[in-house]
Chain A
Amino acid sequence: MSKSSPRRSFGRKSTGTVTVIEAKVHRSSARNARMAFILSAVVIGVLATVVATSYVHPIIALFIGAAIGVPCGALAWLLVRIWPVLRLLWWWTPEIVLTVLSLTAWVQLANHTPTIVTLAVVAIVLGVPAAIPAVRRQVVAWVWCLIVRHRLRVCFAQFIVANQSGSLPLILWAKPTPVGERVWVYLRPGLSLADLEGRLDKIAVTCHASSVLVERASDGNAAYLRFDIKRREVLTATVTSPLADVVTSDIPATDRPTPVVPTALDLPDVQAPTVTLPVQQPKKPATTSANGSKPTAAQSTDADDVSDWI
């Protein structure tokens, strides 16, 4: 297969089997595994030989070195070959751990208690969080954190072209925010913040979110990024200032002199001549009979659209 062969078509929905290793990755993985075998076999073998020479005859030491180096190399080879599988397991660690834990708990419970008690315990464990809104929201938020890490990985694997070897960014931890989730990501060579900024709309679609923002999480390292996934809008809420709560309510009220309550609050109450104009109205004789502050205000709005800018 040539270098530009479509790696996508290789292992996805062609047959019923799930291929976890893509074509290009597969090739480089085989090469890497060979390199790993040779390197570790030689290095460990030589080291073992050197150590062994101080105890036994050099020829025997050579054999001992080979006997230690080759199995170690094989181990390295195996690790590199199954690395994609390990990676897959690593990606799903939280889910695997959770499933194993809950299954174990279920089995233990079922074995040690009568059915009624088992069902009651399950009902309480599931029902109480579901019934209390605050807990339910928290649980849902955590579930979204799990989901969104996979969705982000899908983005990287599917449409964000990475590097030659097909390594994906490290998707670190995620935490819920009031509007969605925040995920920290460590980029591998081949990607940059600017690459991602152009694709935020697609990432949002993949994450089932309304919008996604990405920014640097560290000033010193451009590879360390933070994704903000937004599903809800908080800016429409009314925010209150905490200052209102820190003051005690039993303050001695300030003694204010009762102000003169102005009168003439309606149009008929105000006769034209009673309006005193500001004396400094330089050159507007025509409008001076109206309202003192109007002319200049009108003037400024007129000028607005003509000249927006300097």
Chain B
Amino acid sequence: MTTATAPTAGIPVGPGLSMFDPIFLGIDEFGQPVYITLAYRNLLAGGEPGGGKSGLLNTIAAHAALSADCRLVLLDGKLVELGQWEDCADAFIGPDITAALDVLRRLQQVMNNRYAWLRAHGRRKVTALDGLSVITVLVDEIAFYSATIGGKQEQEEFVALLRDLVARGRAAGIPVVAATQRPSFDIIPTSLRDLFGYRAAFRCTTPNSSNIVLGHGCAEQGYSATDIAPTNQGAAYLIAEGGIPRRIKVAYLTDSQIAGIADYAAWTRRPSRLSAPTGSRLDWEIAA
């Protein structure tokens, strides 16, 4: 799959990043860098169309792709938002709910196996020293799978599987990052939405929508994503480690930067290298 003509001078070295490292997201309102650690957390990004949610997902995907201990599972109804990472990803699902359900079922199985493995070792969560890969699940536009394509039954199954991943995947090293334009209950059941620990609210049109993303009562305390100027794409309120919403500006990767990182990551992940990591005992194979 990769080319055999590696340049003799300056072969790129493998990435030194890990999913257990803090991920650079952008800057806060004081110009200080903002990092989040995603390995044990789930992140939900919400906000109006064009707010910058996919920009956030791409920034996270870039870190994940460059992390040697990470596998990417991408679900992108729009195909183009995460499409450039296809070569680094173990599964890339477009607008196809059957494929989405398949990959979620596989993930569920992996998760169950990992918990069984943890139990066998008398442990409670996966750590960086286990050599297990962190399987980062990125879903752009949940609503597309949970409310748009497929039949009622499939949509419900999708939500149920995703909720299970979000609820139990954390300690097994399967973090979920999801983006949606509006996480109200008709798009995403409240039972699923409330499980996401980290929230990022991009510009919202009403204080109510902002509250739906950030949590009840945030707008009243002065944290309302309606303050963000429509022209200031990529600015968001982030609730992460600190617990209180922080204003941040998400780092933005241009298409060519993404292409560069994706090529590099694909090169470092070429099959000969990642085919048999320690995690392979869980029979997770490169997706077809």
Which A residues have a C-beta under 8 Å from some C-beta of B?
177-179, 182, 228, 230, 233-244, 246-256, 278, 280-282, 292-293, 296-297, 300, 303-304, 307-310
Contact = CB atoms under 8 A, between A and B. Distances in A.
A307 B186 contact: yes
A251 B252 contact: no
Contacts of B257: 240-241, 244
Contact of B263 (A241, A244, A253): A253
Interface of B: 1-3, 5-7, 10, 12, 24, 26-27, 29-32, 59, 62-63, 66, 87, 143, 147-154, 182, 184-187, 190, 208-209, 212, 229, 232, 234-235, 247-253, 257, 260-264, 266-267
Contact of A300 (B1, B149, B186, B250): B186
The 9 tightest CB contacts between A and B, nearest first, are A178-B31, A280-B151, A247-B264, A244-B257, A241-B251, A239-B251, A254-B266, A235-B249, A303-B186
28 contacts: A228-B30, A230-B29, A234-B31, A235-B27, A235-B247, A235-B249, A238-B234, A238-B252, A239-B26, A240-B253, A240-B257, A241-B251, A241-B253, A242-B24, A246-B66, A247-B66, A247-B260, A248-B12, A250-B7, A251-B264, A252-B263, A254-B2, A296-B148, A307-B184, A307-B186, A308-B184, A308-B212, A309-B184
B31 A241 contact: no
Contacts of B261: 243-244, 247
Nearest to A233: B29
Contacts of A242: 24
Nearest to B98: A280
A254 B32 CA distance: 35
Contact of B3 (A178, A238, A255, A308): A255
Given A280-B154, A293-B149, A182 B208 contact: no
Nearest to B250: A239
A238 B212 CA distance: 27
Determine the main DSSP class of B at the interface with A.
Answer: mixed
Contacts of A238: 234, 252
B260 A244 contact: yes
A238 B285 CA distance: 38
B148 A297 contact: yes
Contact of B30 (A179, A236, A249, A255): A179
A281 B248 CA distance: 41
Contacts of A228: 30
A308 B182 CA distance: 10
Nearest to A256: B87
B6 A252 contact: yes
Nearest to A308: B208
Nearest to A254: B266
B253 A252 contact: no
Given A243-B24, A281-B151, A234 B29 contact: yes
A253 B32 CA distance: 34
A254 B271 CA distance: 12
Nearest to B235: A235
A236 B26 contact: no
A251 to B, nearest CB: 5
A250 B12 contact: yes
A292 B250 CA distance: 34
Given A178-B31, A254-B87, 14 more contacts: A177-B30, A179-B29, A230-B30, A234-B29, A235-B27, A235-B247, A236-B235, A237-B249, A241-B59, A241-B253, A243-B253, A247-B12, A300-B187, A308-B209
A248 B264 contact: yes
Contacts of B266: 254
Contacts of A297: 147-148
A88 to B, nearest CB: 31
Contacts of B185: 307, 309-310
A304 B59 contact: no
B252 A296 contact: no
Contacts of A308: 184, 208-209, 212
A43 B262 CA distance: 77
B186 A251 contact: no
A252 B265 CA distance: 11
B151 A282 contact: yes
A300 B253 contact: no
Given A235-B247, A252-B2, A309 B232 contact: no
Nearest to A180: B30
Nearest to B264: A247
A280 B153 CA distance: 9
Nearest to A304: B184
Contacts of A293: 148-149
B10 A248 contact: yes
A177 B253 contact: no
A243 B29 contact: no
Contacts of A248: 10, 12, 264
B2 A309 contact: no
A307 B190 CA distance: 13
A190 B209 CA distance: 40
B232 A236 contact: yes
A300 B143 contact: yes
A239 B248 CA distance: 10
